[in-house]
């Protein structure tokens, strides 16, 4: 970012593990009347400066690889002044979590919005993956919604460049628990398909207005996943030490599984009339085996479902 720009923080709008996000104003020092409403992501100064510099640089490098795309938050630039490391984005006031919580029941035909949102989300992820980047933290809070109902994927703090030839030292401190894929949970090799799993969870949540994996810890998530997919516990490969004893104590697990609701009952949790094709698309995204999961491009080719949405080129 050019040195003649300065920003002013206003209210705090979100706080994560290593950073805080503020609503603010970006000023032009040379032309004071020129300003822009922005979101400012500042790394917490309590962390070591060397750590912040690495985190800031990694996210900045990811963002510079992503050119302007209608379904990705507009990145304006980065600032580093002393111990302050900041990333500047165009401000959008609400995320998809807020949207769903406040107006889910306000629309008579929310199914159209679901279709549009999933289309846009897949369109954005398709582009991100085409740049060899995995987002690694797709969830409702990391998807912004404009007044025109355009989705913007944001928060690339956990994102990484994927190299198929270098998967031996992967980071597993990624993905929020409710949207965490089996391979990240079990600490086995992962790829772009972890983002597709997260979108499948979001698709289910938007359709049924219910969080699919509303769990408190990794063990509970593990129990729900193997119950839903009817996985033989003995055949599961895991490098997650915390789950090792749970996986091997199959008798205890099977008792707990019997107490969980069946997947079909979850799918019928309300009376909203939607198309069966949605469940089929969700199931293509939520495959336990990552190699059987559909890609964003494959899902977008379902012309029957997306026929009422603008053509892909208009969202590119």
With a pLDDT cut of 90, the percent of the chain lying above it is 47
Rounded Cα–Cα distance for residues 169 and 156 (Å)? 20
Cα–chain center distance at 63 = 15
Contact 119, 278 (CB under 8 A): no
Q: Are 38 and 9 in contact (CB under 8 A)?
A: no
* Domains of the chain by start residue, with CATH: 5-90 (3.30.200.20), 94-315 (1.10.510.10)
User: Tokens 């979101």 belong to which residue?
Assistant: 39
Contact 202, 179 (CB under 8 A): yes
Question: What's the full length of the chain, in residues?
Answer: 316
186: phi then psi, degrees, rounded to nearest 5: -90, 0
- Under a CB-based contact definition with an 8 Å cutoff, are residues 42 and 19 in contact? yes
The angle at the Cα of 121, spanning 294 to 55, to the nearest 5 degrees, equals 100
Looking at residue 251, its pLDDT comes to: 59
Phi, psi (5° rounding) for residue 39? -105, 130
pLDDT for the residue 271: 39
List of residues 6+ apart from 63 with CB closer than 8 A = 75, 87, 156
Is residue 137 among the annotated active site residues?
yes
- Greater confidence (180 vs 7) lies with 180
Inter-residue contact 96 to 145 (CB < 8 Å): yes
| In contact, 42 and 83? CB cutoff 8 Å | no
Q: Would the pTM of this model clear 0.75, i.e. be above it?
A: yes
Tokens of 177: 């628990």
CA–CA gap between residue 204 and residue 189 (Å, rounded): 25
Which of 116-120, 174-178, 300-304 comes out lowest in average pLDDT? 300-304
How large is the average pLDDT for residues 236-248? Answer: 63
The mean per-residue pLDDT over the stretch 193-209 comes to 94
Residue 14 and residue 92: Cα distance in Å, rounded? 13
Show the tokens assigned to 165: 């030839």
User: What's the CA gap between 199 and 196, in Å, rounded?
Assistant: 5
pLDDT digits (tens, 9 = 90+) for 85-101: 999 999 999 999 998 88
| Sequence-ordered list of residues with C-beta below 8 angstroms from that of 281, at least 6 positions apart, any chain | 118, 203, 299, 302, 305
Given 105, 109, 137, 289, which residue is catalytic? Answer: 137
Among 1-5, 266-270, 309-313, top mean pLDDT goes to 1-5
């Amino acid at each position: 970012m050019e040195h003649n720009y300065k920003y002013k923080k206003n209210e705090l709008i979100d706080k994560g593990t290593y950073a805080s996000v503020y609503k603010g104003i970006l000023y032009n020092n040379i032309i004071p009347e020129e300003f822009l409403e922005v979101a400012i992501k500042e790394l917490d100064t309590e962390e070591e400066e060397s750590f912040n510099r690495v985190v800031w640089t990694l996210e900045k490098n990811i963002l510079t690889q992503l050119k302007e795309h209608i379904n990705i938050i507009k990145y304006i630039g980065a600032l580093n002044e002393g111990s302050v490391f900041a990333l500047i984005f165009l401000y959008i006031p609400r995320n998809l979590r807020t949207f769903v919580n406040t107006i889910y029941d306000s629309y008579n035909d929310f199914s159209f919005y679901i279709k549009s949102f999933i289309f846009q989300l897949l369109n954005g992820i398709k582009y991100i993956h085409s740049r060899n980047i995995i987002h690694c933290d797709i969830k409702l809070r990391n998807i912004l919604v404009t007044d025109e109902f355009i989705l913007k994927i944001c928060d690339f703090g956990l994102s990484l460049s994927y190299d198929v030839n270098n998967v031996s030292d992967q980071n597993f401190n990624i993905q929020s628990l409710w949207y965490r894929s089996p391979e990240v949970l079990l600490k086995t090799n992962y790829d772009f398909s972890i983002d597709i799993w997260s979108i499948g969870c979001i698709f289910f949540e938007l359709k049924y207005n219910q969080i699919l994996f509303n769990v408190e810890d990794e063990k509970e998530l593990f129990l729900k996943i193997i119950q839903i997919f009817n996985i033989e516990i003995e055949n599961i490969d895991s490098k997650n030490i915390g789950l090792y004893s749970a996986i091997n104590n199959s008798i205890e697990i099977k008792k707990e599984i019997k107490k969980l609701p069946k997947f079909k009952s979850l799918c019928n949790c309300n009376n909203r009339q939607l198309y069966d094709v949605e469940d089929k698309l969700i199931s293509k995204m939520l495959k336990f085996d990552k190699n059987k999961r559909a890609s964003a491009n494959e899902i977008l080719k379902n012309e029957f479902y997306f026929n009422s949405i603008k053509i892909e080129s208009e969202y590119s």
